[in-house]
Amino acid sequence: MIKTHISQKMIISAVAGLIIIPGSALRASAAEEAEEQPFVQAAGIESVLEQCYETDVKSNINLYLVPTEEGEYLNMAFSDTGDFTYIRSAPDENSGWVGKLYGDSAAQVLEYLDGWTKIRSGSAEGYVPADTLITGAEAEARAEEYETNTVTVTADVLNVRDGQGTQSDILTQVTQGGQYEVTGDPVNGWYPIKVGETDGWVSGSYVTEETSYSYGETKEEEEQRIAEENAQKEQSSQNMPEGGGTQGEASQTSAAGTSLSGQAVIDYACQFIGNPYVWGGTSLTDGADCSGFVQSVYAHFGISLPRTTYDMVNSGYAVSYEEAAPGDLILYDGHVGLYMGDGNIVNAMNEADGIGICSATYANIIAVRRVL
């Protein structure tokens, strides 16, 4: 099952009725090592344990909040199920379900019952069988299995390279505010990330890192998500171009007889980032203007495009910006670029900036055309 449920930042709070013990923030800047903050308890652990006993939860003491050196707590639980388990309105298999807890989800424990556990996961709150959860010390030990690490770009434009260090080749560029999955451990201050289908490295000096978890969803959230997915499928089928295929497909057979993907076009185009802008030029190495750049990139794959933006606006077939896929032409008043995904285009910008990356919405979009 493809999981499309909500992912949020994890905020771990105290169980209702206990005094919250503050810990250090989970978010840390990758640009520089954060200064170590002293851990200050608002109340001693003895008082927390005493309150646990006073509320008749002696048998569940290992489930309650015990601060670690990092200030994290153990009222977390993680799903231990297949695709999902139902979150029910009452601790009874016959009660109605109010949400779903997916196989990779985290949850907050609210109450521990005989055979059932009351949880909150995202917006969904209710009861799941106790044997579908990992809790207590085991949850602490396995928390990393459920974590998703991401970095957010803090620089205006950041190079994604094929290795650690500025001597490595540039694969592509990302812009400020972009959030990307971290695919491994940092090395010498550089983070491995995934941008679309491209794997590369970015300097930790220009990103911030954070850890998040996946959560369940309510019945209403699932219904809304499914309705939106069905609407998108219906719209795609209505816009099916002549000759078969759908607008969602980003591939075709090129003149050379090979299957071409939009991402392959972008990967090729990004090799020329940093090369000069030359008005009227069509050379990817010595200089090209915006339409010359797009034309020459596609010519490499045996696809012929018009020379000017005014003619390119009629190339291929129209799609909406919301449907834009890598390789699509994004046209403006007198300018054109290639859509990369994540709201960015690679384009021959101007004499000062040359070939580079910028936001696809930097100016009013006239048309989006798909030529694959």
Residue 167: C-alpha distances to residues 161, 162, 170, 174, 266 (Å)? 9, 10, 9, 18, 22
- How many structural domains is the chain composed of? 3
CATH number of the domain within which 153 lies: 2.30.30.40
pLDDT at 233: 66
> What's this model's pTM, rounded to 2 decimal places?
0.41
Q: What whole-number distance in Å separates Cα of residue 266 and Cα of residue 341?
A: 9
Residue 232 located in a structural domain: no
Contact 303, 327 (CB under 8 A): no
Provide the residue-wise pLDDT of the chain in tens; the chain has 372 residues. 334 443 443 333 333 333 333 333 333 333 333 344 443 344 444 454 455 444 444 344 344 333 333 334 458 899 998 889 999 999 999 999 999 999 888 999 999 899 999 999 989 999 999 999 998 888 888 888 887 888 888 887 788 899 998 888 888 888 788 888 888 889 999 999 988 778 999 999 999 988 778 889 999 998 888 888 787 667 655 544 444 433 333 333 333 334 578 999 999 999 999 999 999 899 998 899 999 999 999 998 888 899 989 889 989 999 999 999 999 999 998 899 999 999 999 999 999 899 999 999 999 999 999 998
Residues 59 and 21 in one domain: yes
Residue 352 located in a structural domain: yes
Residue 75 located in a structural domain: yes
Residues 130 and 260 in one domain: no
Residues 122 and 153 in one domain: no
Residues 91 and 206 in one domain: no
pLDDT at 287: 92
Helix (H) or strand (E) holding 106: strand 106-112
Residues 179 and 101 in one domain: no
- Structural domain range at position 109: 7-146
Residue 239 located in a structural domain: no
Residues 22 and 125 in one domain: yes
Residue 179 exposed, middle or buried by CB count within 10 Å (0-12, 13-18, 19+): middle
Q: What whole-number distance in Å separates Cα of residue 92 and Cα of residue 128?
A: 9
pLDDT at 119: 94
Contact 340, 346 (CB under 8 A): yes
End residue of a domain, out of 124, 146, 168:
146
Residue 365 located in a structural domain: yes
Residues 272 and 357 in one domain: yes
Residue 355's nearest CA partner among 281, 290, 262, 268 is 290
Residues 172 and 95 in one domain: no
Residue 220 located in a structural domain: no
Q: CA 19, 67, 72 angle in degrees (round to 5)?
A: 100
CATH number of the domain within which 340 lies: 3.90.1720.10
End residue of a domain, out of 88, 113, 146:
146
Q: What whole-number distance in Å separates Cα of residue 292 and Cα of residue 307?
A: 6
Q: Are strands 259-261 and 251-253 parallel, antiparallel or unpaired?
A: antiparallel
pLDDT at 209: 86
Q: What whole-number distance in Å separates Cα of residue 180 and Cα of residue 170?
A: 17
Residue 290: C-alpha distances to residues 109, 187, 333 (Å)? 56, 37, 12
Residues 92 and 188 in one domain: no
Residues 129 and 210 in one domain: no
End residue of a domain, out of 214, 231, 265:
214
Residues 53 and 140 in one domain: yes
262-269 and 290-299 are packed helices; what angle lies between their axes, rounded to 10 degrees?
120
Residue 196 located in a structural domain: yes
Residue 16: C-alpha distances to residues 75, 108, 178 (Å)? 11, 11, 36
SS3 26: coil
Residues 102 and 41 in one domain: yes
Residue 224 located in a structural domain: no
